[in-house]
Structure 1
Amino acid sequence: MKTNQRMAVAFIGAAALVATAGAPAYAAVPTDTAELREAVTVDGVMDHLAALQDIADANDGTRASGTPGYDASVDYVAGLLEDAGYEVTVQEFLFNSFRELSDPVFERVSPDPMAYVAGEDFFTAEYSGSGDVTAELQAVDLVLPPGPEAGSSTSGCEPEDFADFVEGNIALVQRGTCDFSVKAQNAFDAGAVGVIIFNEGQEGRTDTLNPTLGDQFSADLPVVGTSFEIGDELAGLLEEGPVTIHLATDTLIELDVPTANVIAETPTGRDDRVVMAGAHLDSVPDGAGINDNGSGSAALLEIALQMAELGIEPRNTVRFAWWGAEEAGLVGSQTYVDSLDKRATKDISLYLNFDMVASPNFARFVYDGDGSAFGSTGPNGSGGIERLFTDYFASQGLVSEPTAFDGRSDYDAFITAGIPAGGLFTGAEDAKTAEQVAWYGGLATFEGEPVSYDPCYHQACDSLDPVGDGADAELYAALDAAYGGALEGNINTIALDEMSDAIAHAVLTYAMSTSAVNGTAKASPTAAERTADRLGSHFRR
């Protein structure tokens, strides 16, 4: 694996931001983050998003890993960071890329023929195989009506679920508990010729699924995602008699495609107390990925640049990361963690993840580090990260909610390696509730239909011109009105402003802390010696 490392140069007259405010329980050193938060502006972040949109426009409308659009995104981010004085590494790796070659088909042949609409009623699962099949449908271990909480269904998660499956049928499985790829692989192993995965059915889990199987999925059969309504209707029809379905997908999976992560590290700070903050830089193949995840990437980039501009010298090394091939199944972040030896892994104090932080119909979600809401606890210290964010939002008079560590973003590799993790998220394909509208504004329904946090999630309209790229013009006008004109394309600037400030607060708080994330051991004398050797190198804008 080749790397391209560029060294930082000196900045004269830098002054660190050291605080005077009272110290919260999660940090031994009180840190005033106001100057950095003030420096990180919506306009600054939007400038980066405009650049990413321009890159997509110049490269067939996409910034997906393995494409020229992604390569140009890497050059843009790495170039700015290098100019600002960061130690920049472009970590190259290989992954398996995915794209659709023609429009998919999902039809109910009988009873009562029905042709479903691609992009509205269903989506081809990323990394679905190709196939054109007409066969009987068979339900697999469904939970209908759905359980009271998300994840109640284990449909298709165990090979035993397919004990009576008829080879040659199309499997109807329900979202919940396990990865989509597990459901699809179990169906393939049981002889299914196609798979339909429908949403689970609880409030917020009814919209049309746009599932990802990951770049290691290799079963050659069509897999699509659909809404709870359609899945529930098909299950009801199956109780009355046979249902025949026509599925067709035409996809291409290319093996060993080159792509890269961008890693940028501050030239000062304790090496055994590394604070990492990351966001994935790639889009899905269908669009520019301006909210997913241009928003997280641009916010993190502007924070890094403003830290350099302000001359902040962190006590702990800050390592920013922009991941490649996240949309292929979290490949870039896993590759990075796998490349670390035991010492380097231990030296990472915590990881902060920012994936979608400006959803047009947003909520303020904080990852549930202590497991109190969802039962899935992060490594020791993750609860402290959660409290940092919730306390920050409370200090600003803002409501926030927990969201589960469900394995859908780049924190997953770090958690698996035992590194404390946390972060922010503003919502994707799930529907917003009326209670959340009272907290955050926006819309729970429009013309009688539920509205998701991001109606353009994983679509071409996740851009700075969503209506021009296929979004519902009336819905986006209503969303913009609900937020007082705060939408700029598929970006909610209210969310972008609040989340950028919260990210800056967390990064700087941990950068200046003298204790571990869980409040235990101090840095080792050896680390202090290493840091002393590096103090002559600072930032330059």
Structure 2
Amino acid sequence: MPTARHSTPLAYPHPCASHTCASTPRPAAAAIHKFEPKGLSMSVIGVMVEGPVPIARLRLFASQSFASPVPVSSEEVEPMAPRRSVAAAVAAGALVVGLTTSPASANGDVVAGGPEPRDLASQVRTDALLDHLAALQAVADANAGNRAAGTNGYDATVRYVERRLAAAGYETWRQTVPLTVEETVSSSVEYTIDRTTRVIRHMPMTASPGTGPDGVTGRVVSPSGRSTGCLPRDWREADVSGSIALVSRGSCTFDAKSRVAAAAGASALIVHNSTAGQLNGTLRTSDRHVPTVGVSMDSGRVLAGLPDGAEVTVVVDKVVEERETVNLFAETGSGRAEGVVVVVGAQLDSDPDSPGINDNATGSVAILETAVQLAEAEPLDRTVRFAWWGGGELDRAGSQHYVDDLAETDPEALEQIDVYLDVRQIGSTNGVVGVYDADESTYAMPGAAPSRAAQAERLIEDRFDATGQPWVDVPFSAPGDHRPFARAGVPAAGLTAGADGTKSPDQAAAFGGTAGLAYDPNQDTVADDADNVDPQTLSVLAQSVAHTTVALATDPGLVDVRDLLPTEPPAAGSDDAAPDSAETDGDD
């Protein structure tokens, strides 16, 4: 049976394998982008940008009024009371006006039918989104506080989405997804001094290997200087073999830190936070890792200050079970461009220890409400397939299985996917307006993205520019359900408000919130509930989802911007290289 673990590095198939391609200069660092009406210059807060600013892109869409959606009756979907004042949330939410677009196609022909992107965006209302979130919170409350894949809570979540879609007139279908589920039976971090055992509060990282019930014991070893354990050279001056490696959060992913510690010979890894609060992280796969746990910054200081000879015992006792979950799908009618599909997807399940409202009920309800509002629209140029993925907390099991299954059983259907749009954690309380950097304007990645991915990204960014909404690039290597599609060569784009990455001072100035704290401080905890979602960020990003969905499905073709893309990967070891250890939102 297939498992939910995959370790293939993220990389689009590179188009320059057999010939030389010119590279495009990239910004020196991540930037906050704001639109300036005069010309196409870009305002960057605190960052100097090297290289040209991309030229304008043409976007030409259909023009037609939008029909009202089918109402959902109380008999079809059981009522669930919201957990917050809808009126207050709507007052706080920013309803962003959509782009003004032209009814002409790229070749001058009038495009028939379909709603304008701005029309659909205005139909996605904050109060409806919050009502959906309240309903999913109620599902979690009734099912041991979570909606994890393979549980009754997830099954109830799927049924809720199915009923909403049925009420809007959709036919839905499910796909069974095999899961390899690892559950932590017990865990501990302890040390003994003067015959007194002290316990360190900790969190085993998701997908960490287990130690067995007896755990592993060793002295604590840290890299020299200010190194954070991201590179093999960080451990050259330390005797790591059989020890418990202790590193700070930062500079690269938890995944990379664990693999580097394993290669150095450590028996376990403890990562301490770099800011206040407990650290809870995720590894991408258990291959080539050591057992890894997260602790607070204060606990890290305690462990680093232990006297010589003191030993620490780390226990991560796990069991592995084979289970099943499901993906859920619905789609619009056949588009005029027969055999061309736009897939819009979001993780539907939660962490086992969390209601998972921001992560990722917010993304799920954004595409649900987009689907509901599209229900009675005129046929689009492209079919839109909405996907709610199961097993997202298990290394993106649902989306990976979907792509793998198509590649094996129906490769033509995989080739028919014009673009995939991922929606992830769009209500973070300390969030940003983040756009996956498919065109590598800020973050390099192995292999060049298809031009369609860059076009989809620019559709999103140009709408933000037109409405005066600041935005920031997010590394394309960030965790998300776009990754299986990208590995298969499918153009992919996405939106997020951020996960457990840390907000910078420039981002705090542009988006509000607190610098130095995680974008979503409640991720994978019981506090990730309906009371800890930012309605304004949710509204801005959900309306962008609706706008982008219609734009991708009704646009007869965008200007090819292949010449604007970096088409030659940076040399290994260069400053521009983006190794698998590059720090990404959601990992570290």
Is the structural similarity TM-score above 0.5? yes
Q: After superposition, what is the alpha-carbon deviation per residue over 1:109-129, rounded to whole angstroms, capped at 9, x for unaligned? A: 4699995753xxx42111331
Query: 1:431, 1:453 within 8 Å by CA — same for their partners in 2?
Result: yes
Query: 2:345, 2:421 within 8 Å by CA — same for their partners in 1?
Result: yes
Task: Find the residue that maps to 1:272 and give its secondary structure.
Answer: coil
Task: Find the residue that maps to 2:490 and give its secondary structure.
Answer: coil
TM-superposed CA distance for 1:143, in Å, is 7.0
2: CA distance, partners of 1:69 / 1:296? 18
* Cα pair distance change 1:389/1:20, threshold 3 Å: closer
Q: Which residue of 2 aligns with 1:280?
A: 347
RMSD value, Cα:
3.7
TM-superposed CA distance for 1:297, in Å, is 0.4
Q: 1:100 aligns with which of 184, 189, 198?
A: 184
Alignment of 1:132-151 (within 5 A): 132-139=215-222, 144=226
2:213 corresponds to 1:155: no
2:362 corresponds to 1:295: yes
What code does the residue aligned with 1:345 have?
A: L
Q: Which residue of 2 aligns with 1:374?
A: 443
Question: Sequence identity of aligned pairs in percent?
Answer: 36
Deviates more, 1:434-443 or 1:61-70: 434-443
Q: 1:353 aligns with which of 403, 419, 422?
A: 422
* Cα pair distance change 1:344/1:105, threshold 3 Å: same
Task: Find the residue that maps to 1:77 and give its secondary structure.
Answer: helix
Q: 1:197 aligns with which of 271, 277, 290?
A: 271
Q: Which residue of 2 aligns with 1:420?
A: 491
TM-superposed CA distance for 1:43, in Å, is 1.0
What code does the residue aligned with 2:545 have?
A: I
Query: 1:195, 1:224 within 8 Å by CA — same for their partners in 2?
Result: yes
* Cα pair distance change 1:371/1:232, threshold 3 Å: farther
TM-superposed CA distance for 1:428, in Å, is 1.5
TM-superposed CA distance for 1:144, in Å, is 1.6
2:578 corresponds to 1:502: no
TM-superposed CA distance for 1:374, in Å, is 1.1
Q: 1:223 aligns with which of 273, 292, 303?
A: 292
Query: 1:86, 1:267 within 8 Å by CA — same for their partners in 2?
Result: no
Q: Which residue of 2 aligns with 1:252?
A: 319
2: CA distance, partners of 1:93 / 1:117? 37
* Cα pair distance change 1:400/1:181, threshold 3 Å: closer
Query: 1:142, 1:174 within 8 Å by CA — same for their partners in 2?
Result: no
2: CA distance, partners of 1:517 / 1:66? 44
2:332 corresponds to 1:332: no
2: CA distance, partners of 1:286 / 1:379? 37
Query: 1:136, 1:244 within 8 Å by CA — same for their partners in 2?
Result: yes
2: CA distance, partners of 1:84 / 1:370? 36
Structure 1: runs of 5+ lacking an equivalent: 2-12, 147-152, 445-449, 465-488, 521-541
Alignment of 1:411-450 (within 5 A): 411-444=482-515, 450=516
Q: Which residue of 2 aligns with 1:529?
A: none
1: CA distance, partners of 2:262 / 2:517? 33
* Cα pair distance change 1:220/1:421, threshold 3 Å: closer
2:391 corresponds to 1:391: no
TM-superposed CA distance for 1:503, in Å, is 0.6
2: CA distance, partners of 1:222 / 1:155? 18
Task: Find the residue that maps to 2:537 and give its secondary structure.
Answer: helix
* Cα pair distance change 1:20/1:187, threshold 3 Å: closer
* Cα pair distance change 1:513/1:359, threshold 3 Å: same
TM-superposed CA distance for 1:15, in Å, is 5.9
Alignment of 1:5-404 (within 5 A): 21-22=101-102, 32-102=116-186, 104-109=187-192, 118=201, 122-128=202-208, 129=210, 130-131=212-213, 132-139=215-222, 144=226, 154-155=230-231, 167-173=241-247, 180-181=254-255, 183-184=257-258, 187=261, 192-198=266-272, 208-214=278-284, 217=286, 222-226=291-295, 237=305, 241=308, 244-254=311-321, 256-269=322-335, 270-308=337-375, 310-340=376-406, 341-376=410-445, 377-404=448-475
1: CA distance, partners of 2:122 / 2:107? 21
Query: 1:280, 1:297 within 8 Å by CA — same for their partners in 2?
Result: yes
TM-superposed CA distance for 1:434, in Å, is 2.9
1: CA distance, partners of 2:192 / 2:476? 39
Task: Find the residue that maps to 1:423 and give its secondary structure.
Answer: strand
Q: Which residue of 2 aligns with 1:523?
A: none
* Cα pair distance change 1:110/1:374, threshold 3 Å: farther
Deviates more, 1:316-325 or 1:423-432: 423-432
Q: Which residue of 2 aligns with 1:532?
A: none
1: CA distance, partners of 2:419 / 2:506? 33
What code does the residue aligned with 1:210 have?
A: N
> TM (normalized to structure 1)?
0.75
2: CA distance, partners of 1:117 / 1:23? 63
* Cα pair distance change 1:163/1:78, threshold 3 Å: farther
2: CA distance, partners of 1:176 / 1:434? 16
What code does the residue aligned with 2:282 have?
A: T
What code does the residue aligned with 2:459 have?
A: L
Q: Which residue of 1 aligns with 2:84?
A: none
Structure 2: runs of 5+ lacking an equivalent: 2-64, 70-98, 563-588
TM-superposed CA distance for 1:513, in Å, is 1.3
What code does the residue aligned with 2:534 have?
A: N
2: CA distance, partners of 1:518 / 1:263? 30
Q: Which residue of 2 aligns with 1:410?
A: 481
